[in-house]
Structure 1
Amino acid sequence: MGLMTSGWLARIPAVRDQLHLSTATLGALLLVGSVGALLTVLASGVLVQRIGSRRSLVLSTGVLGAGYALMGIGPGAGSAAVLAVGIFLNGVGVSLANMVFNLESARIERAIGRTVIPHFHAGFSVGAVAGSAGGALASRLGISVTAQLTAVAAVAVVWRLASVRGVVLDPAADELAAALRPVAATSGGRLRSALSAWTERRTVLIGVVVLAASLSEGSANTWLSLAVVDGFRTPESMGGVVLGLFVAAMTVVRLLGTRLIDRFGRVAVLRTSGLVSLVGLLAFGLA
């Protein structure tokens, strides 16, 4: 999934130029993906509870593949509407897949009794480094956005479907979800189950922290390559390289994250990472 995400983000300058989009219009199109992701987040807990992790992952793969292909076809066809549909579906697919991946990685962490979730996030980042490098190379070689994204979509769908069976830790978990469906379905049980966590103060505070982190990381992911191209008058390939450096830094921290958390604690690591992120944002913004 990281390969797909950064491969697309590295080519945003080319998409903007192909469709002759203003910054405001491009921002609105990218917002469509966030809307799709937000709507999916609100419903994903109920969906995974209803159909299980494995089926949810298969569903997300189909939606993500279709959306990614449309994101490549839109610029080639000169259609912002097709691009918008693709971005929306991509947001839906990524959000649902994230729900499953985080759920299963948490199960694995509990099963082995030590912090490993950052390693799974590092796997995403490794793919993202490869994706940004691939996007930069495609731009350098003059490969069109359409050719790059449709090819990556096809490979990614086959790859993900082939690996679905090994992603879910315990098949019995899906069987348990199936057994609980009738109970959860009574008297709006599914909805209450999904929303009950938000009555807990700590959940809300964690949500605020995640919101802040998502804003900073999301802004960099979405606008970094374009900011480098426009702000420093560099070719698109250089924007992809800088994006790759950003993602590579995240990869290193995620690989070291388990040791840092186990040694210094979650609160100290979270505070330090927030401060470092703020310094980085200010440094780039003032450059």
Structure 2
Amino acid sequence: MNYSLNRQQIKLWRLSIYFIFALPGFSMASWVSRTPTIRDTLGASTAQMGWIIFGMAVGSIVGLMSASHLIAHKGGRFVMVTGLAISSIGLIIVGVGGSWFVNSIIVFSGLAVFGFGNGICDVAMNVEGTAVEGVTKKSLLTGFHAAFSVGTLFGAIAGSVATKSGVSVPIHITFAAVVTVIFIIFLARFVPKGTGKEDNDDSNEPPMSARERMAVWKEPRTILISIIVLGMAFAEGSANDWLPLIMVDGYNVTPTMGSFAFGLFVAAMTIGRAIGGLLLDRLGRVLVLRISALLAIVGLLIVIFGGSYEFATIGIVLWGLGAAFGFPVGLSAAGDNPRGVAARVSAVATAGYLAFLVGPPFLGFIGEMIGLLRALIVVLITVTIAGLLSQAAKPIGKTNN
């Protein structure tokens, strides 16, 4: 798609995408912050809560798989607005089901709706992000993903305040949903219409058919980039789900110290993504991916074999910095070819989310047998594979990295 935008319009488009990336993080943290209350209200066991949360995984995968077709027909802006509106409805259903009706099936259904909306929005906003990169000729996707982390932080703070203030779950969740919808409606006006839409207006090539969009899953480059993203997303997701427990069980520290270690990881990853654009423009994708994989490998080795909590925290910082780049850089690489950009970004995003959703439970299964600390060797292997395949992310048609 060709864009006839002046400098001010491009600036507003770029700024709006930063805020849009923050909105799903805010929504997700709003739900996560109230999970203890919802679990207690439902009287659900840990295993039952796991099955309830699985509803979000189901919805997310369906959304990710559907996104490329929706974007191809309606464009990224429409799908972002629709996705966040749907996820907000799902959030309200979760709040009502987990408080007023006290019904686990309603909560499961709400999470499925929430996951679907987030899934299609995630692909659409990454398609928009790659389009902004193309127009500005700058590496921005890592910064956009840092904005997601900032949104998560604000959502967590708001959830903590609501919990301490005794605000009921439905009121808190509904407030978060309304805020999300208001922001996306306001921000959408600054986003060009039709990003990622397949038509004949701006290209000599015919639009991709549904079969062609599915065929991108077989492209060697897309497969290799998906493996890179899968490996690095596994490194990120395993920390998000298990790091506090890994430190508590592996180093015999208090839960507070385990939470502090997780905070270090999140801070390191957010800082890495915030400065990632500068590094990518100077060093190129391939070198950045190799360095990030190396940092994650060294960090994981320190955490696994460090021997002391203090030394392990250094490893956690390196692990967080290393895990910061794989997902956004892989999505940026998937968007190199404007034709079929939504299909490729969808395929790579799906690989990443599979790592987020399936990887941590698998790590828990391994950890049950050999301990969570030693189970990180599996993460070490996947990150090493991702680093070895980094060359696949080289920009199309360029001799440099």
Pick one of 64, 72, 75 that aligns with 1:52.
Answer: 75
Instruction: State the AA in 2 paired with 1:130.
Output: F
Q: Does 1:255 align with 2:280?
A: no
Equivalent-residue separation in structure 2 for 1:197 and 1:206 (angstroms):
12
The alpha-carbon deviation at position 232 of structure 1 amounts to 5.0
Give the Å deviation of 1:158: 1.5
Kept in 1: contact 2:77–2:195 (CA 8 A): no
CA distance in 2, matches of 1:156, 1:212: 31
Distance 1:72 1:140 in 2: 17
1:136-285 pair list within 5 angstroms: 136-166=160-190, 168=191, 170-171=192-193, 173=195, 177=199, 190-221=209-240, 232=254, 246-277=265-296, 279=299, 282=304, 285=372
Quick one: which of 25, 33, 40 aligns to 2:48?
25
2:66 aligned residue: 43
- Of residues 92, 96, 115, the one that matches 1:69 is 92
Give the number of equivalent residue pairs: 275
1:34 and 2:34 matched: no
| Distance (whole Å) between structure 1 residues aligned to residue 107 and residue 244 of structure 2 | 19
| Number of the residue aligned with 2:124 | 100
Q: Rate the CA distance shift 1:85–1:217 in 2: closer, same or farther, 3 A.
A: farther
| Displacement after TM superposition at 1:220 (Å) | 4.5
> What is the alpha-carbon distance in structure 1 between the residues aligned to residue 162 and residue 248 of structure 2?
16
Task: Evaluate the alpha carbon distance shift between residue 84 and residue 254 of structure 1 in structure 2; reply closer, same or farther with a 3 A threshold.
Answer: same
Which of 130, 136, 140 aligns to 1:112? It is 136
Gap change, CA 1:49 and 1:172, over 3 Å in 2: closer
Mapped to 1, the partners of 2:113 and 2:282 lie a distance apart of 40
Structure 1 position 81, deviation (Å): 0.9
Quick check: which one's helix share is greater?
1
Pick from 4, 8, 16: which aligns with 2:39? 16
TM-score (norm 1): 0.81
The answer (yes or no) to whether the contact 1:56–1:97 under 8 Å persists in 2 is yes
* Range with greater deviation from structure 2 (76-85 or 203-212): 203-212
Give the share of equivalent positions with the same residue, in percent. 32
**How far is 1:178 from its partner?**
8.3
**What letter matches 1:259 in structure 2?**
L
Does residue 79 (structure 1) correspond to residue 103 (structure 2)? The answer is yes
- Structure 1 CA distance, aligned partners of 2:282 and 2:196? 34
Task: Supply the distance in 2 between the matched residues of 1:272 and 1:253 (Cα, whole angstroms).
Answer: 12
RMSD of aligned Cα (Å): 3.3
Higher relative CO (Cα under 8 Å, sequence separation at least 6) belongs to 1
Question: Deviation at 1:129?
Answer: 1.0
* Partner secondary structure for residue 202 of structure 1: helix
Quickly say closer, same or farther: Cα 1:247–1:73, change in 2 above 3 A.
Answer: farther
The runs of 5 or more residues in structure 2 that have no matched partner are: 1-23, 305-311, 317-371, 374-401
Deviation at 1:130, TM superposition (A): 0.7
Structure 1 pair 178–15 and aligned structure 2 pair: CA distance change class (3 A): farther
Unaligned runs of 5+ in 1: none
SS at match of 1:143: coil
- Please identify, of 225-234 and 2-11, the stretch whose mean Cα deviation from structure 2 is larger: 225-234
Aligned partner of 2:155 in structure 1 is 131
- Whole-angstrom distance in 2 between the partners of 1:46 and 1:140: 43
